[in-house]
Amino acid sequence: MASSDSSPILRLTFLAVLAIALFVALFARLWFLQVLAGDRFVELADSNRLRTVVSEAPRGAILSSDGEELVRNRPALTISADRQALLGSDGAPRDAEAERVIERIAELLELDTAEVIDRLGSQRRSPFRAVPIEIDVPPELVFTIREQQELFFGVETESLPVREYPQGTLASHVVGYVGEISQDELLDPEYTDYLGGDLIGRSGLEQSYEADLRGAAGRRLLVVNAREHVLDVQSDRPPVPGNDLRTTIDSELQEATERLLADGIEASRSIERDDGQLLPSTAGSAVVLDARSGAILAMASWPDYDPREFVGGVGPDYFEFLQDPESERPLVNRALTGSYPPGSVFKHASGAAMVEAGVIGPRGTRDCDAQFELGGNTFRNWNRGVNEGPMDLSDALKRSCDTYFYALAYENWVRENADDGSEEALTEVGQRFGFGRTLDVDLPSESPGRVPGRQWREEYWLESRDRYCSQAEAAEQGSLEEELLSDLCQFGGVWRGGDAVNSSIGQGDVMATPLQVAASYQAVANDGVLMRPHVGSQVVSPDGEVVREIEPEPLGELGLDEETTAAIREGLERVLMESDGTGSSAFSGFPLDEIPVAGKTGTAESPPRVPYAWFAAYAPADEPEIVVAVNVEQGGGGSQTAAPIVRNIMEHHFGIVDADDAEFEAGEEILD
């Protein structure tokens, strides 16, 4: 530089420092982005270029034992839309164009715009797939959209597998239904391999065999460019279709059972009771078991529901119907969820318990008196009136004599009290018959029922004592209510003689499901071996290979003496075979000489309601094949309403009278 003036040098130094500072800033920023935070950006770059596309695996079918498809898959035309294309992050249409598209969809599907936005924005949906707006639309709508795709930006038409029920409502409670997985379940670690929008079994076999039926969704990992054009497939896992489930349900018997149950209940409503009122017969259920394997051949619960209504989501009308109390909760499978006092169908177990406790021998007798007095209370026989004389276990079952069981239960109660009460024959033997426990059936929502005793009473009282005591204090001084409540408050934990007496005839706090009742008679019919009731028989892969056999398995043994078993079986046979048996009226005209039947009536009191009708039976009595149990809620006497239904089912099964020609003929009104 020519000038000796140092000022330009100083100024150039300033420029140099400034330049270096700017470069240092760039180096520092690059070091941060590339070295310190590089990993995060690698992930972002990958999520940029990779798209996961999920393809649904077809769910397995459920088949009856005779090969009928109870449920299978059907491709359903579906109108879906890309949420990101149409909705902004605030859940509203992202722009005017998207709004117009949504309006067009709404018009096409005859929905509110708000409803379309609602369905589209459902957060339960996975971001990996288009959100279905309407499943199972007519093909015309699909054509409309395809022809004018430019008017329906972001809208896709696809074919989704949906559940189809070729047999209609047949075995709807057993098969169950599927629904979309809920938000809570998605957060649950148990459901990690589910995505929003996935279907999951919600009841019945769909729920209990979920893992077999579901299969595995396919996943394709696509490499896409900035315009979302697919350039490459990085990985492709095709969907694995779910396995089929073959069941023990005999579709023909199932259909007959459902029809005969519904018809019988319907018909029983025209029966006039003693007081002149008609029987309400509000609901009912029936179970048919294979007497040897415990396989469930048919299981019906009435009223039933239509699983087809669940395809693509329950509509508001059907939802209202399901919620309506008048509808009697049609979704409930009463055969295994309904817990009722069993009444006299419990007497085989109760009688066995008394013999096992050593209170009486299998052929020992007690008077079948008209009533039994205990501590100022009178326990009547159902047959209000005469003393029927001394009876052994067989007689007592035939006549369903309450007082025979009262007397024994009291004697046993005294003995157990003397033995410190740790032995509880009724509870223990009841459990061997399958009462007061779950039976490990392969269907969800099984009720355990209850066989009460000292221990149960004590525990129940400890839980509810505070409530009794505070209610007693609140009750009016000197009233009957106050007396009762303060008694419960102080002594509610005591298992009294009256409790034992009530329990012995399946009343009081005894509760059982129709499945438990059926299983208990299956154990008697099967030489004392209680089998696990089951519906599934084979899991079969889509190419027909048997993946898994579901073998019948024993749950336990009754452990009774041969003589005791013989007495019980004899008594049960006489219920039908002898003219004074409580069930004989319902089986008049049935060819009992060819096909002997053993069974038991039951009429469970549940005031103020009309009694619940029960009947359980197995046949042929000498070589049992099937066990049938029927319960009709508020159906009056077991012999009157339940037994004729069982008879019709047996007539159908043994080819005597086809279900199509069957008539419901009410039996004698015996309120045992």
Partner 1 sequence: MDLGYGQDREQRMMRDRVQTRWQSAYAPVRHLDPVLVLTALALTGIGLVAIYSAKHVALSSQDLPTTLYVTRQLIAMIIGIVAMVVAAVVDYRHIRTYAPVLYAIGLVLLVLTLTPLGTEINGSQRWLVLGGFQLQPSELVKLAVLVSIAAILHESQGKPHIGFITLSLAITLVPTGLVFLQPDLGTSVVFIWLTAVLFLIGGVQVRYLVGLLAAGVGAIVAAFQAGLIEAYQLSRLTAFVNAGDASAAQTAAFQTRQSLIAVGSGQFAGKGLLEGTQTSLSYVPENHTDFVFTVIAEELGFLGASLVLGLFLILVWRGLRIAILSKDLFGTLVASGVVAVLTLQVFVNVGMTVGIMPVTGLPLPFISYGGTSLIVWFAMVGLLLNVHMRRF
Site residues for partner 1, window 316-345 (CB under 8 A)? none
Binding mask 164-203 for partner 1 (x = CB under 8 A): ----------------------------------------
Residue type, 524: V
Q: For 77, phi and psi rounded to 5 degrees?
A: -70, 130
Binding mask 600-639 for partner 1 (x = CB under 8 A): ----------------------------------------
CB of 151 to partner 1, least distance (A): 19
For partner 1, the binding residue among 29, 146, 467, 609 (CB under 8 A) is 29
CB of 95 to partner 1, least distance (A): 10
First-to-last C-alpha distance (Å) of the chain = 126
CA distance 353 to 557: 14
- Contact segment (CB under 8 A) with partner 1 among 41-49, 164-172, 520-528, 555-563 equals 41-49
Work out whether strand 366-367 and strand 155-164 pair parallel, antiparallel, or are unpaired: unpaired
Taking the least distance from each CB to partner 1, the nearer of 3 and 378 is 3
Positive or negative, the Cα torsion across 337, 341, 344, 349? positive
Q: What is the DSSP string of 585-604?
A: GGGTTS-TTTS--EEEEEEE
For partner 1, the binding residue among 34, 159, 277, 387 (CB under 8 A) is 34
- Contact segment (CB under 8 A) with partner 1 among 15-23, 202-210, 280-288, 573-581 equals 15-23
CB of 206 to partner 1, least distance (A): 42
Binding mask 213-242 for partner 1 (x = CB under 8 A): ----------xxxxx---x-----------
For partner 1, the binding residue among 3, 6, 89, 579 (CB under 8 A) is 3
Taking the least distance from each CB to partner 1, the nearer of 20 and 386 is 20
- Contact segment (CB under 8 A) with partner 1 among 16-24, 388-396, 581-589, 595-603 equals 16-24
- Contact segment (CB under 8 A) with partner 1 among 13-21, 252-260, 541-549, 571-579 equals 13-21
The two tokens of residue 281 are 């017969």
For partner 1, the binding residue among 14, 143, 319, 491 (CB under 8 A) is 14
Does residue 66 contact residue 239 with C-beta atoms inside 8 Å?
A: no
35 part of the interface to partner 1, by CB under 8 A: yes
- Contact segment (CB under 8 A) with partner 1 among 11-19, 61-69, 183-191, 587-595 equals 11-19
CB of 10 to partner 1, least distance (A): 10
Work out whether strand 390-391 and strand 366-367 pair parallel, antiparallel, or are unpaired: antiparallel
Those residues with Cβ within 8 angstroms of residue 227's Cβ, 6 or more apart along the chain or in another chain: none
84 part of the interface to partner 1, by CB under 8 A: no
Does residue 640 contact residue 611 with C-beta atoms inside 8 Å?
A: no
Count residues near partner 1 (CB under 8 A). Answer: 43
CB of 14 to partner 1, least distance (A): 7
CA–CA distances in Å: residue 500 to residues 279, 375, 404, 409, 453: 30, 13, 13, 6, 8
96 part of the interface to partner 1, by CB under 8 A: no
- Contact segment (CB under 8 A) with partner 1 among 36-44, 324-332, 393-401, 404-412 equals 36-44
Does residue 463 contact residue 421 with C-beta atoms inside 8 Å?
A: no
Residue type, 316: P
CA distance 462 to 457: 9
Those residues with Cβ within 8 angstroms of residue 100's Cβ, 6 or more apart along the chain or in another chain: none
Binding mask 344-383 for partner 1 (x = CB under 8 A): ----------------------------------------
Taking the least distance from each CB to partner 1, the nearer of 44 and 462 is 44
- Helix, strand, or coil (residue 552): coil
Torsion of CA 19, 20, 25, 30, to 10 degrees: 110
Long-range contacts of 85-90 (CB under 8 A, 24+ apart): 85/153, 85/154, 86/120, 86/154, 87/117, 87/120, 87/121
89 part of the interface to partner 1, by CB under 8 A: no
Q: What is the DSSP string of 199-214?
A: EEE-SHHHHHTHHHHH
- Contact segment (CB under 8 A) with partner 1 among 27-35, 142-150, 239-247, 629-637 equals 27-35
- Helix, strand, or coil (residue 227): coil
CB of 33 to partner 1, least distance (A): 4
23 part of the interface to partner 1, by CB under 8 A: yes
CA distance 445 to 332: 9
Give the closest residue to 65 by CA, choosing from 510, 444, 500, 550. 550
Does residue 442 contact residue 208 with C-beta atoms inside 8 Å?
A: yes
CA–CA distances in Å: residue 101 to residues 81, 87, 97, 119, 140: 10, 11, 6, 14, 18
Taking the least distance from each CB to partner 1, the nearer of 226 and 418 is 226
Q: For 59, phi and psi rounded to 5 degrees?
A: -75, 150
For partner 1, the binding residue among 5, 193, 275, 476 (CB under 8 A) is 5
CB of 320 to partner 1, least distance (A): 43
Torsion of CA 117, 123, 129, 132, to 10 degrees: -40
Give the closest residue to 256 by CA, choosing from 202, 308, 299. 299
CB of 81 to partner 1, least distance (A): 18
- Contact segment (CB under 8 A) with partner 1 among 6-14, 58-66, 437-445, 596-604 equals 6-14
- Contact segment (CB under 8 A) with partner 1 among 20-28, 57-65, 213-221, 535-543 equals 20-28
Residue 450 half-sphere exposure toward CB, CA atoms < 13 A? 17
Binding mask 575-604 for partner 1 (x = CB under 8 A): ------------------------------
Residues in contact with partner 1 by CB under 8 A are 1-3, 5, 7-9, 11-12, 14-16, 18-20, 22-23, 25-27, 29-31, 33-35, 37-42, 44-46, 48-49, 223-227, 231
